Structure 1
Amino acid sequence: MTHNRIAVIGLHEHEYEYIRQHYEGLMIWHQSIPKIKIIDGILYVEKAQGVGMLPVDKVIYHGIFEDDLDFISGLALWNGPCFPNAYGMLECRLKIPCLIKAMKYSKFNSQRGFISADTYINTNSELVAKWGNWHCGENKHKFTGSWESTENSVLEPYFEGEAVRILNIGEKSWQIKLEGETWLKSIHPDNAQFTEIDTELLQDTLMLKDKIGMDVIANDYIVQKDGTKHLLEINHIPNITRFEEVRLHFLETVVDWIHED
Protein backbone atom coordinates (compact mmCIF):
# COMPACT_ATOMS: atom_id res chain seq x y z
CA MET A 1 0.00 0.00 0.00
CA THR A 2 1.36 3.41 -1.00
CA HIS A 3 1.17 6.11 1.67
CA ASN A 4 1.00 9.82 1.00
CA ARG A 5 3.35 12.28 2.64
CA ILE A 6 1.28 14.48 4.94
CA ALA A 7 2.21 17.95 6.20
CA VAL A 8 0.64 18.84 9.56
CA ILE A 9 0.91 22.58 10.19
CA GLY A 10 -0.19 24.61 13.19
CA LEU A 11 -1.45 21.85 15.45
CA HIS A 12 0.10 21.38 18.89
CA GLU A 13 2.22 18.34 19.74
CA HIS A 14 -0.58 16.36 21.45
CA GLU A 15 -2.78 16.63 18.36
CA TYR A 16 0.10 15.82 16.04
CA GLU A 17 0.96 12.73 18.09
CA TYR A 18 -2.63 11.48 17.82
CA ILE A 19 -2.47 11.76 14.04
CA ARG A 20 1.01 10.19 13.99
CA GLN A 21 -0.32 7.17 15.90
CA HIS A 22 -3.13 6.67 13.39
CA TYR A 23 -1.15 7.02 10.17
CA GLU A 24 1.73 4.81 9.04
CA GLY A 25 2.91 7.04 6.20
CA LEU A 26 5.43 9.86 6.05
CA MET A 27 4.68 13.10 7.88
CA ILE A 28 6.16 16.56 8.30
CA TRP A 29 5.07 18.57 11.35
CA HIS A 30 5.45 22.32 11.86
CA GLN A 31 3.82 24.20 14.72
CA SER A 32 4.44 27.47 12.88
CA ILE A 33 4.32 28.33 9.20
CA PRO A 34 7.01 26.58 7.12
CA LYS A 35 8.53 27.71 3.87
CA ILE A 36 6.90 26.17 0.82
CA LYS A 37 7.21 26.22 -2.94
CA ILE A 38 4.95 24.99 -5.73
CA ILE A 39 6.68 23.77 -8.88
CA ASP A 40 4.77 22.14 -11.76
CA GLY A 41 1.78 21.61 -9.48
CA ILE A 42 3.81 19.87 -6.77
CA LEU A 43 3.85 21.32 -3.26
CA TYR A 44 7.20 21.21 -1.47
CA VAL A 45 7.33 21.85 2.27
CA GLU A 46 10.36 22.71 4.37
CA LYS A 47 11.76 19.76 6.31
CA ALA A 48 11.02 19.72 10.03
CA GLN A 49 14.71 18.97 10.62
CA GLY A 50 17.66 19.54 8.38
CA VAL A 51 17.94 21.52 5.19
CA GLY A 52 15.76 21.28 2.12
CA MET A 53 12.16 20.63 1.13
CA LEU A 54 10.11 17.53 0.46
CA PRO A 55 7.11 16.97 -1.84
CA VAL A 56 3.82 16.71 0.04
CA ASP A 57 0.58 15.05 -1.05
CA LYS A 58 -1.85 16.37 1.59
CA VAL A 59 -1.87 19.24 4.08
CA ILE A 60 -3.61 19.63 7.42
CA TYR A 61 -3.60 23.23 8.61
CA HIS A 62 -4.99 24.47 11.91
CA GLY A 63 -3.67 27.75 13.21
CA ILE A 64 -3.93 31.52 13.09
CA PHE A 65 -0.70 33.44 12.59
CA GLU A 66 -0.15 37.12 11.95
CA ASP A 67 1.39 36.54 8.53
CA ASP A 68 -0.49 33.45 7.34
CA LEU A 69 -2.66 34.99 4.60
CA ASP A 70 -0.03 34.54 1.88
CA PHE A 71 0.66 31.00 3.09
CA ILE A 72 -3.03 30.08 2.83
CA SER A 73 -3.07 31.75 -0.60
CA GLY A 74 -0.20 29.48 -1.61
CA LEU A 75 -2.15 26.42 -0.50
CA ALA A 76 -5.14 27.63 -2.53
CA LEU A 77 -2.93 28.17 -5.60
CA TRP A 78 -1.57 24.65 -5.19
CA ASN A 79 -5.18 23.40 -5.34
CA GLY A 80 -4.24 20.11 -3.74
CA PRO A 81 -5.88 18.18 -0.88
CA CYS A 82 -5.99 20.45 2.17
CA PHE A 83 -8.02 20.18 5.37
CA PRO A 84 -9.73 22.46 6.00
CA ASN A 85 -10.29 23.58 2.41
CA ALA A 86 -7.76 26.33 1.59
CA TYR A 87 -10.35 28.32 -0.39
CA GLY A 88 -12.70 28.46 2.57
CA MET A 89 -9.90 29.53 4.90
CA LEU A 90 -8.82 32.20 2.43
CA GLU A 91 -12.37 33.57 2.21
CA CYS A 92 -12.57 33.93 5.99
CA ARG A 93 -9.05 34.85 7.05
CA LEU A 94 -9.76 38.60 6.88
CA LYS A 95 -12.60 39.31 9.30
CA ILE A 96 -14.22 42.33 7.63
CA PRO A 97 -14.41 40.87 4.09
CA CYS A 98 -15.65 37.60 5.60
CA LEU A 99 -18.35 39.42 7.55
CA ILE A 100 -19.46 41.26 4.41
CA LYS A 101 -19.80 37.99 2.52
CA ALA A 102 -21.67 36.40 5.43
CA MET A 103 -24.08 39.35 5.62
CA LYS A 104 -25.01 38.70 2.00
CA TYR A 105 -26.41 35.28 2.93
CA SER A 106 -27.12 35.11 6.67
CA LYS A 107 -30.66 35.36 7.97
CA PHE A 108 -29.30 37.31 10.94
CA ASN A 109 -27.36 40.03 9.12
CA SER A 110 -27.75 43.13 11.28
CA GLN A 111 -26.75 46.50 9.81
CA ARG A 112 -23.09 47.47 10.24
CA GLY A 113 -21.19 50.72 9.92
CA PHE A 114 -17.56 51.55 9.22
CA ILE A 115 -15.06 54.14 10.41
CA SER A 116 -11.61 54.96 9.06
CA ALA A 117 -8.56 55.17 11.30
CA ASP A 118 -8.01 58.50 13.09
CA THR A 119 -11.64 59.52 12.65
CA TYR A 120 -14.07 60.84 15.28
CA ILE A 121 -17.61 59.65 15.86
CA ASN A 122 -20.23 60.96 18.27
CA THR A 123 -23.16 58.69 19.06
CA ASN A 124 -26.03 58.55 21.53
CA SER A 125 -26.38 54.77 21.12
CA GLU A 126 -24.04 52.08 22.42
CA LEU A 127 -21.74 50.84 19.67
CA VAL A 128 -18.97 48.29 19.35
CA ALA A 129 -15.96 48.91 17.12
CA LYS A 130 -14.05 45.88 15.83
CA TRP A 131 -10.79 45.90 13.92
CA GLY A 132 -7.97 43.64 12.84
CA ASN A 133 -8.02 39.90 12.22
CA TRP A 134 -7.58 38.41 15.69
CA HIS A 135 -10.21 36.66 17.79
CA CYS A 136 -10.72 35.80 21.48
CA GLY A 137 -12.26 39.18 22.30
CA GLU A 138 -9.27 41.23 21.18
CA ASN A 139 -9.44 44.45 19.13
CA LYS A 140 -12.95 45.40 20.24
CA HIS A 141 -14.15 48.55 21.98
CA LYS A 142 -17.62 49.38 23.34
CA PHE A 143 -18.50 53.05 23.66
CA THR A 144 -21.16 55.75 23.76
CA GLY A 145 -20.60 59.41 23.00
CA SER A 146 -17.40 60.69 21.40
CA TRP A 147 -14.68 58.25 20.30
CA GLU A 148 -11.69 58.44 17.97
CA SER A 149 -10.74 55.30 16.08
CA THR A 150 -7.13 54.17 15.82
CA GLU A 151 -7.80 51.55 13.14
CA ASN A 152 -10.17 51.02 10.23
CA SER A 153 -13.09 49.45 12.07
CA VAL A 154 -16.51 47.91 11.65
CA LEU A 155 -19.21 49.50 13.81
CA GLU A 156 -22.15 47.52 15.11
CA PRO A 157 -24.85 48.12 17.70
CA TYR A 158 -24.15 46.60 21.11
CA PHE A 159 -26.53 43.67 21.42
CA GLU A 160 -27.39 42.68 24.98
CA GLY A 161 -28.09 38.96 25.20
CA GLU A 162 -26.66 35.45 25.34
CA ALA A 163 -23.54 34.79 23.28
CA VAL A 164 -23.42 31.37 21.65
CA ARG A 165 -21.21 29.58 19.16
CA ILE A 166 -22.40 27.06 16.59
CA LEU A 167 -19.45 24.81 15.79
CA ASN A 168 -19.49 22.37 12.91
CA ILE A 169 -16.79 19.85 12.00
CA GLY A 170 -17.67 17.37 9.29
CA GLU A 171 -21.07 15.91 10.05
CA LYS A 172 -21.21 16.90 13.73
CA SER A 173 -22.33 20.18 15.30
CA TRP A 174 -22.41 21.69 18.79
CA GLN A 175 -23.82 24.82 20.38
CA ILE A 176 -21.59 26.39 23.03
CA LYS A 177 -22.66 29.10 25.46
CA LEU A 178 -19.83 31.63 25.56
CA GLU A 179 -18.93 33.17 28.90
CA GLY A 180 -16.82 35.90 30.46
CA GLU A 181 -16.83 38.35 33.37
CA THR A 182 -17.27 41.37 31.10
CA TRP A 183 -19.33 42.06 27.98
CA LEU A 184 -16.63 40.22 26.03
CA LYS A 185 -17.57 36.54 25.81
CA SER A 186 -15.48 33.62 24.60
CA ILE A 187 -15.12 29.85 24.66
CA HIS A 188 -12.24 29.85 27.16
CA PRO A 189 -13.82 30.48 30.61
CA ASP A 190 -14.39 27.38 32.75
CA ASN A 191 -18.16 27.91 32.76
CA ALA A 192 -18.49 27.90 28.96
CA GLN A 193 -20.53 24.80 28.15
CA PHE A 194 -22.54 22.90 25.55
CA THR A 195 -26.21 23.82 25.26
CA GLU A 196 -29.14 22.60 23.18
CA ILE A 197 -28.67 23.51 19.52
CA ASP A 198 -30.90 26.28 18.14
CA THR A 199 -32.22 24.91 14.84
CA GLU A 200 -32.30 28.32 13.13
CA LEU A 201 -28.72 29.11 14.09
CA LEU A 202 -27.54 25.69 12.97
CA GLN A 203 -29.27 26.07 9.60
CA ASP A 204 -27.70 29.51 9.19
CA THR A 205 -24.24 28.19 10.05
CA LEU A 206 -24.45 25.21 7.71
CA MET A 207 -25.74 27.42 4.90
CA LEU A 208 -22.78 29.80 5.35
CA LYS A 209 -20.41 26.83 5.51
CA ASP A 210 -21.73 25.70 2.13
CA LYS A 211 -21.80 29.17 0.53
CA ILE A 212 -18.24 30.00 1.57
CA GLY A 213 -16.91 26.50 0.94
CA MET A 214 -15.63 25.58 4.39
CA ASP A 215 -14.95 22.22 6.04
CA VAL A 216 -14.85 23.59 9.60
CA ILE A 217 -16.83 26.59 10.81
CA ALA A 218 -17.77 28.26 14.08
CA ASN A 219 -20.27 31.11 14.02
CA ASP A 220 -20.75 33.42 16.98
CA TYR A 221 -24.26 34.79 17.54
CA ILE A 222 -26.07 36.93 20.10
CA VAL A 223 -29.57 35.83 21.13
CA GLN A 224 -31.44 38.69 22.79
CA LYS A 225 -34.11 38.26 25.48
CA ASP A 226 -36.89 38.83 22.94
CA GLY A 227 -35.46 36.05 20.75
CA THR A 228 -33.87 38.33 18.15
CA LYS A 229 -30.65 36.82 16.79
CA HIS A 230 -27.58 38.49 15.33
CA LEU A 231 -24.54 36.98 13.59
CA LEU A 232 -21.37 38.47 15.08
CA GLU A 233 -18.54 36.72 13.25
CA ILE A 234 -17.29 33.58 11.54
CA ASN A 235 -14.31 31.65 12.89
CA HIS A 236 -12.47 29.72 10.17
CA ILE A 237 -10.00 28.13 12.62
CA PRO A 238 -12.06 27.61 15.79
CA ASN A 239 -10.64 26.36 19.06
CA ILE A 240 -10.74 22.55 19.08
CA THR A 241 -8.98 21.85 22.40
CA ARG A 242 -11.34 23.54 24.90
CA PHE A 243 -13.65 20.50 24.94
CA GLU A 244 -12.26 16.98 24.72
CA GLU A 245 -15.29 15.78 22.74
CA VAL A 246 -14.61 18.38 20.07
CA ARG A 247 -10.86 17.68 20.04
CA LEU A 248 -11.35 13.95 19.51
CA HIS A 249 -13.96 14.43 16.80
CA PHE A 250 -11.70 16.88 14.97
CA LEU A 251 -8.77 14.45 15.11
CA GLU A 252 -10.92 11.50 14.04
CA THR A 253 -12.21 13.58 11.13
CA VAL A 254 -8.66 14.49 10.13
CA VAL A 255 -7.49 10.86 10.28
CA ASP A 256 -10.45 9.70 8.18
CA TRP A 257 -9.69 12.43 5.66
CA ILE A 258 -6.02 11.41 5.46
CA HIS A 259 -6.99 7.85 4.58
CA GLU A 260 -9.39 8.90 1.80
CA ASP A 261 -8.16 8.18 -1.73
Structure 2
Amino acid sequence: MRKVLFIGLEKDEVRDITQNLNIRTIHHELIPKLIVQDDKLFVEHPNIFDCMIQIDIVIFHGIFENDFDPINALAIWDGVCLPNPVALLNCRLKHPCLARALRITKFKMPHGFVVNGSINVKEESVAKWGNWHCGENKKRFTGEEHYPQPTVIEPFIKGTAVRILIIGNKSWQIQLKGDDWLKSIHHETSYINTSIDEELLEDTLNLKEHFQLEWIAVDYMVTDSGKRYMLEVNHIPNMDRFPEVREHYTSFIKNWIGEKLNNL
Protein backbone atom coordinates (compact mmCIF):
# COMPACT_ATOMS: atom_id res chain seq x y z
CA MET A 1 0.00 0.00 0.00
CA ARG A 2 1.42 3.38 -1.01
CA LYS A 3 2.16 5.84 1.80
CA VAL A 4 1.00 9.43 1.29
CA LEU A 5 2.34 12.19 3.53
CA PHE A 6 0.11 15.23 4.18
CA ILE A 7 1.87 18.28 5.63
CA GLY A 8 -0.05 21.33 6.82
CA LEU A 9 -3.57 20.30 5.85
CA GLU A 10 -6.42 20.14 8.33
CA LYS A 11 -7.73 16.77 9.52
CA ASP A 12 -11.09 17.21 7.79
CA GLU A 13 -9.34 18.07 4.52
CA VAL A 14 -7.22 14.93 4.73
CA ARG A 15 -10.35 12.90 5.51
CA ASP A 16 -12.20 14.23 2.47
CA ILE A 17 -9.21 13.69 0.18
CA THR A 18 -8.36 10.16 1.27
CA GLN A 19 -11.88 8.76 1.34
CA ASN A 20 -12.04 5.67 -0.92
CA LEU A 21 -8.33 5.89 -1.80
CA ASN A 22 -6.33 2.73 -1.18
CA ILE A 23 -3.42 4.41 0.59
CA ARG A 24 -1.78 4.62 3.99
CA THR A 25 -2.07 8.19 5.28
CA ILE A 26 0.68 9.89 7.28
CA HIS A 27 -0.51 13.28 8.55
CA HIS A 28 1.53 16.10 10.12
CA GLU A 29 -0.16 19.45 10.67
CA LEU A 30 3.27 21.00 11.32
CA ILE A 31 6.62 20.47 9.58
CA PRO A 32 7.95 17.01 10.48
CA LYS A 33 11.51 15.69 10.43
CA LEU A 34 12.44 14.73 6.87
CA ILE A 35 15.42 12.74 5.59
CA VAL A 36 16.38 12.13 1.96
CA GLN A 37 18.71 9.21 1.40
CA ASP A 38 19.44 7.19 -1.76
CA ASP A 39 16.66 9.05 -3.61
CA LYS A 40 14.15 7.97 -0.96
CA LEU A 41 12.15 10.22 1.36
CA PHE A 42 11.66 9.33 5.01
CA VAL A 43 9.45 11.14 7.54
CA GLU A 44 9.10 10.75 11.28
CA HIS A 45 6.17 8.60 12.40
CA PRO A 46 3.42 10.83 13.84
CA ASN A 47 2.84 8.48 16.80
CA ILE A 48 5.99 6.40 17.31
CA PHE A 49 9.09 8.08 18.73
CA ASP A 50 12.35 7.82 16.76
CA CYS A 51 10.68 5.93 13.89
CA MET A 52 11.09 7.00 10.26
CA ILE A 53 8.78 5.88 7.44
CA GLN A 54 9.49 5.85 3.72
CA ILE A 55 7.00 7.99 1.77
CA ASP A 56 5.73 7.59 -1.80
CA ILE A 57 3.68 10.79 -2.30
CA VAL A 58 3.67 14.16 -0.53
CA ILE A 59 0.91 16.78 -0.34
CA PHE A 60 2.12 20.09 1.13
CA HIS A 61 0.02 23.12 2.03
CA GLY A 62 0.96 25.84 4.49
CA ILE A 63 3.39 28.61 5.33
CA PHE A 64 5.56 27.93 8.35
CA GLU A 65 8.30 29.94 10.02
CA ASN A 66 11.11 27.53 9.11
CA ASP A 67 9.78 25.70 6.06
CA PHE A 68 12.34 26.71 3.41
CA ASP A 69 14.79 23.88 4.15
CA PRO A 70 12.07 21.18 4.40
CA ILE A 71 10.75 22.35 1.00
CA ASN A 72 14.33 22.17 -0.26
CA ALA A 73 14.49 18.57 0.96
CA LEU A 74 11.35 17.76 -1.04
CA ALA A 75 12.88 19.39 -4.12
CA ILE A 76 16.14 17.44 -3.76
CA TRP A 77 14.15 14.22 -3.27
CA ASP A 78 12.49 14.95 -6.65
CA GLY A 79 9.66 12.54 -5.93
CA VAL A 80 5.90 12.78 -6.36
CA CYS A 81 4.94 16.00 -4.59
CA LEU A 82 2.08 18.49 -4.82
CA PRO A 83 2.69 21.37 -5.33
CA ASN A 84 5.93 21.28 -7.28
CA PRO A 85 8.54 21.91 -4.53
CA VAL A 86 10.92 23.73 -6.90
CA ALA A 87 8.09 26.17 -7.63
CA LEU A 88 7.56 26.58 -3.89
CA LEU A 89 11.25 27.41 -3.46
CA ASN A 90 10.96 30.08 -6.15
CA CYS A 91 7.96 31.67 -4.41
CA ARG A 92 8.52 31.13 -0.68
CA LEU A 93 10.70 34.21 -0.14
CA LYS A 94 8.47 37.16 -1.03
CA HIS A 95 11.06 39.60 -2.37
CA PRO A 96 12.72 37.22 -4.88
CA CYS A 97 9.25 36.02 -5.87
CA LEU A 98 8.18 39.61 -6.53
CA ALA A 99 11.32 40.26 -8.59
CA ARG A 100 10.51 37.24 -10.78
CA ALA A 101 6.82 38.12 -11.07
CA LEU A 102 7.56 41.70 -12.15
CA ARG A 103 9.37 40.32 -15.21
CA ILE A 104 6.21 38.41 -16.24
CA THR A 105 3.18 40.49 -15.29
CA LYS A 106 1.66 43.07 -17.65
CA PHE A 107 0.51 45.12 -14.66
CA LYS A 108 3.67 46.13 -12.85
CA MET A 109 4.31 49.38 -11.01
CA PRO A 110 7.59 51.04 -10.00
CA HIS A 111 9.20 49.65 -6.85
CA GLY A 112 11.96 50.71 -4.52
CA PHE A 113 14.08 48.54 -2.25
CA VAL A 114 15.94 49.22 0.98
CA VAL A 115 18.49 46.65 2.15
CA ASN A 116 19.23 48.45 5.43
CA GLY A 117 18.83 52.21 5.60
CA SER A 118 16.59 55.23 5.09
CA ILE A 119 14.42 56.26 2.18
CA ASN A 120 12.58 59.53 1.58
CA VAL A 121 9.43 59.50 -0.58
CA LYS A 122 7.26 62.43 -1.65
CA GLU A 123 4.15 60.40 -2.52
CA GLU A 124 2.34 58.12 -0.09
CA SER A 125 3.94 54.69 -0.28
CA VAL A 126 3.76 51.22 1.27
CA ALA A 127 6.70 49.42 2.83
CA LYS A 128 6.64 45.60 2.89
CA TRP A 129 9.14 43.37 4.65
CA GLY A 130 9.45 39.77 5.79
CA ASN A 131 7.92 36.62 4.31
CA TRP A 132 4.45 36.54 5.89
CA HIS A 133 1.12 37.28 4.24
CA CYS A 134 -2.32 38.36 5.51
CA GLY A 135 -1.45 42.05 5.78
CA GLU A 136 1.43 41.62 8.22
CA ASN A 137 4.71 43.56 7.98
CA LYS A 138 3.24 46.41 5.91
CA LYS A 139 3.23 50.15 6.60
CA ARG A 140 1.91 53.24 4.82
CA PHE A 141 4.23 56.22 5.00
CA THR A 142 5.26 59.52 3.46
CA GLY A 143 8.56 61.31 3.94
CA GLU A 144 11.64 59.69 5.44
CA GLU A 145 11.62 56.28 7.10
CA HIS A 146 14.40 53.96 8.25
CA TYR A 147 14.12 50.23 7.64
CA PRO A 148 16.75 47.98 9.25
CA GLN A 149 15.61 44.92 7.31
CA PRO A 150 15.27 44.34 3.52
CA THR A 151 12.09 46.20 2.54
CA VAL A 152 10.17 46.68 -0.70
CA ILE A 153 8.73 50.14 -1.31
CA GLU A 154 5.78 50.57 -3.65
CA PRO A 155 3.33 53.43 -4.35
CA PHE A 156 0.10 53.40 -2.39
CA ILE A 157 -2.67 52.67 -4.89
CA LYS A 158 -6.26 53.66 -4.16
CA GLY A 159 -8.82 51.30 -5.63
CA THR A 160 -10.35 47.86 -5.38
CA ALA A 161 -8.32 44.85 -4.29
CA VAL A 162 -9.04 41.62 -6.18
CA ARG A 163 -7.50 38.17 -6.20
CA ILE A 164 -7.40 35.81 -9.16
CA LEU A 165 -7.27 32.26 -7.83
CA ILE A 166 -6.53 29.28 -10.06
CA ILE A 167 -6.58 25.61 -9.02
CA GLY A 168 -5.74 23.35 -11.94
CA ASN A 169 -7.98 24.56 -14.77
CA LYS A 170 -10.61 26.32 -12.62
CA SER A 171 -10.45 30.00 -11.72
CA TRP A 172 -12.22 32.56 -9.54
CA GLN A 173 -12.06 36.32 -9.01
CA ILE A 174 -12.33 37.21 -5.35
CA GLN A 175 -13.13 40.67 -4.00
CA LEU A 176 -10.79 41.35 -1.07
CA LYS A 177 -12.18 43.48 1.74
CA GLY A 178 -11.04 45.11 4.97
CA ASP A 179 -11.90 47.68 7.61
CA ASP A 180 -9.02 49.93 6.59
CA TRP A 181 -6.50 50.15 3.71
CA LEU A 182 -5.39 46.55 4.30
CA LYS A 183 -7.55 44.12 2.31
CA SER A 184 -7.74 40.37 2.85
CA ILE A 185 -9.58 37.25 1.79
CA HIS A 186 -10.20 36.55 5.48
CA HIS A 187 -12.47 39.57 5.98
CA GLU A 188 -16.09 38.57 6.50
CA THR A 189 -17.31 40.75 3.63
CA SER A 190 -14.94 39.32 1.01
CA TYR A 191 -16.79 37.53 -1.77
CA ILE A 192 -16.43 35.72 -5.10
CA ASN A 193 -17.32 37.80 -8.16
CA THR A 194 -19.84 36.43 -10.65
CA SER A 195 -17.53 37.44 -13.51
CA ILE A 196 -13.78 37.50 -13.99
CA ASP A 197 -11.47 40.09 -15.55
CA GLU A 198 -10.10 38.23 -18.58
CA GLU A 199 -6.90 40.27 -18.73
CA LEU A 200 -6.14 39.65 -15.07
CA LEU A 201 -6.91 35.96 -15.61
CA GLU A 202 -4.51 35.82 -18.55
CA ASP A 203 -1.85 37.55 -16.47
CA THR A 204 -2.32 35.09 -13.60
CA LEU A 205 -2.16 32.14 -16.01
CA ASN A 206 1.15 33.48 -17.34
CA LEU A 207 2.49 33.71 -13.78
CA LYS A 208 1.21 30.22 -12.98
CA GLU A 209 3.00 28.84 -16.03
CA HIS A 210 6.18 30.77 -15.26
CA PHE A 211 6.37 29.48 -11.69
CA GLN A 212 5.08 26.01 -12.70
CA LEU A 213 2.56 25.97 -9.87
CA GLU A 214 -0.47 23.71 -9.78
CA TRP A 215 -2.40 26.45 -7.99
CA ILE A 216 -1.78 30.16 -7.57
CA ALA A 217 -3.46 33.32 -6.31
CA VAL A 218 -2.36 36.75 -7.52
CA ASP A 219 -3.51 39.95 -5.86
CA TYR A 220 -4.14 43.10 -7.91
CA MET A 221 -5.31 46.66 -7.30
CA VAL A 222 -7.80 48.16 -9.74
CA THR A 223 -8.18 51.94 -9.66
CA ASP A 224 -11.43 53.82 -10.29
CA SER A 225 -10.12 54.68 -13.77
CA GLY A 226 -9.55 51.01 -14.55
CA LYS A 227 -5.76 50.85 -14.23
CA ARG A 228 -4.53 47.56 -12.82
CA TYR A 229 -1.43 46.80 -10.77
CA MET A 230 -0.07 43.48 -9.55
CA LEU A 231 0.65 43.37 -5.81
CA GLU A 232 1.91 39.88 -5.02
CA VAL A 233 1.89 36.19 -5.88
CA ASN A 234 0.50 33.73 -3.33
CA HIS A 235 1.93 30.22 -3.82
CA ILE A 236 -0.01 28.79 -0.86
CA PRO A 237 -3.36 30.62 -1.04
CA ASN A 238 -6.23 30.23 1.39
CA MET A 239 -8.54 27.41 0.26
CA ASP A 240 -10.98 27.39 3.19
CA ARG A 241 -12.67 30.80 3.02
CA PHE A 242 -15.25 29.77 0.41
CA PRO A 243 -16.91 26.31 0.35
CA GLU A 244 -16.86 25.99 -3.45
CA VAL A 245 -13.11 26.66 -3.51
CA ARG A 246 -12.47 24.17 -0.71
CA GLU A 247 -14.55 21.49 -2.46
CA HIS A 248 -12.66 21.92 -5.73
CA TYR A 249 -9.31 22.01 -3.89
CA THR A 250 -9.87 18.70 -2.10
CA SER A 251 -11.30 17.08 -5.25
CA PHE A 252 -8.30 18.28 -7.27
CA ILE A 253 -5.86 16.73 -4.79
CA LYS A 254 -7.86 13.49 -4.61
CA ASN A 255 -7.88 13.13 -8.41
CA TRP A 256 -4.19 14.05 -8.60
CA ILE A 257 -3.26 11.34 -6.09
CA GLY A 258 -5.39 8.81 -7.98
CA GLU A 259 -3.55 9.59 -11.21
CA LYS A 260 -0.15 9.31 -9.55
CA LEU A 261 -1.02 5.99 -7.91
CA ASN A 262 -1.73 4.53 -11.35
CA ASN A 263 1.76 5.54 -12.49
CA LEU A 264 3.78 4.36 -9.48
Describe the superposition over 1:54-83 as per-residue Cα deviations: whole angstroms up to 9, x where unpaired.
111110000100100001011011111111
Aligned equivalents of 1:124, 1:99: Cα separation in 2: 23
Give the aligned partner of residue 162 of structure 1.
Answer: 160
Aligned equivalents of 2:89, 2:31: Cα separation in 1: 15
Give the aligned partner of residue 77 of structure 1.
Answer: 76
Matching of residues 26-37 of structure 1 within 5 Å: 26-37=24-35
Aligned residue type for 2:61: H
Matching of residues 1-261 of structure 1 within 5 Å: 3-51=1-49, 52-117=51-116, 119-195=117-193, 196-260=195-259, 261=263
Describe the superposition over 1:124-154 as per-residue Cα deviations: whole angstroms up to 9, x where unpaired.
2001000000000000000112222232100
1:122: how far off?
2.2
The size of the alignment, in residue pairs, is: 258
1:48: how far off?
1.0
Q: Specify the SS of the correspondent of 2:2.
A: coil
1:252: how far off?
0.3
Aligned residue type for 1:72: I
Aligned equivalents of 1:22, 1:155: Cα separation in 2: 49
Aligned residue type for 2:205: L
Q: Specify the SS of the correspondent of 1:5.
A: strand
1:18: how far off?
1.2
1:110: how far off?
1.2
Aligned residue type for 1:78: W
Describe the superposition over 1:70-99 as per-residue Cα deviations: whole angstroms up to 9, x where unpaired.
010110111111111111111100000000
Contact persistence 1:88–1:215 (CA under 8 A): no
Unaligned runs of 5+ in 1: none
Q: Specify the SS of the correspondent of 1:240.
A: coil
Contact persistence 2:18–2:254 (CA under 8 A): no
Q: Specify the SS of the correspondent of 2:142.
A: strand
- Which stretches of structure 1, 4 residues or more, deviate above 6 A after TM superposition? none
Q: Specify the SS of the correspondent of 1:105.
A: coil
Task: Please say which of residues 182-191 and 20-29 is displaced more in the overlay.
Answer: 20-29
Aligned equivalents of 2:118, 2:90: Cα separation in 1: 30
Quick one: percent identity of the two aligned structures?
A: 47
User: What is the TM-score normalised by the length of structure 1?
Assistant: 0.97
1:121: how far off?
2.1
Aligned equivalents of 1:19, 1:204: Cα separation in 2: 30
